[in-house]
Amino acid sequence: MFESRGLGGGYDSLRVLTGGVPASSSAILENLQSALKQKESQIVGTQMEVARLEKVKSNLTSELGRLSAEAEKVADLEERLESLTAAYKETEEKYQTMLTVRAQNYNLISLFQSFSFRCTVKRWKKPKN
């Protein structure tokens, strides 16, 4: 009976329970009941600790799930940001090209209008003989 708990066998275990002093069966019974209550108390404490740790585990599991979803959203947003940044650069390049072409066209129009005006003026003036 006591061998599974490591207390030894037979009368040696009774001496441990009674402190090495011969005792009556009621004293041995009281010591056993006291040891049992102590072990039950330890079991209850351990069960409470297990319940607390299970709650912590549950909370950490839900937190891990939430953080995993958030990390996935961040990755998606980073991907989208890269895509939008590339599109912005492309649009900016096209805009700058359009501004350059517009300026060139404006210069050509101005030059053409100036040339056209000079030609018109020359037609109005008649050469002197």
Task: Provide the mean pLDDT of the chain.
Answer: 84
Domain extent at residue 31: 3-124
Paired tokens of 8? 């030894």
- pTM, two decimals, is 0.49
Helix, strand, or coil (residue 14): helix
Exposure b/e, 1-19, CB count within 10 A at least 16 = b: eeeeeeeeeeeebbeebee
129 within domain boundaries: no
As for how many domains the chain has, the answer is 1
The answer to whether 13 touches 2, Cβ cutoff 8 Å, is: yes
44 within domain boundaries: yes
11 within domain boundaries: yes
85 within domain boundaries: yes
pLDDT of residue 101: 94
* Average pLDDT of span 12-41: 79
Element (H, E) at 106: helix 25-124
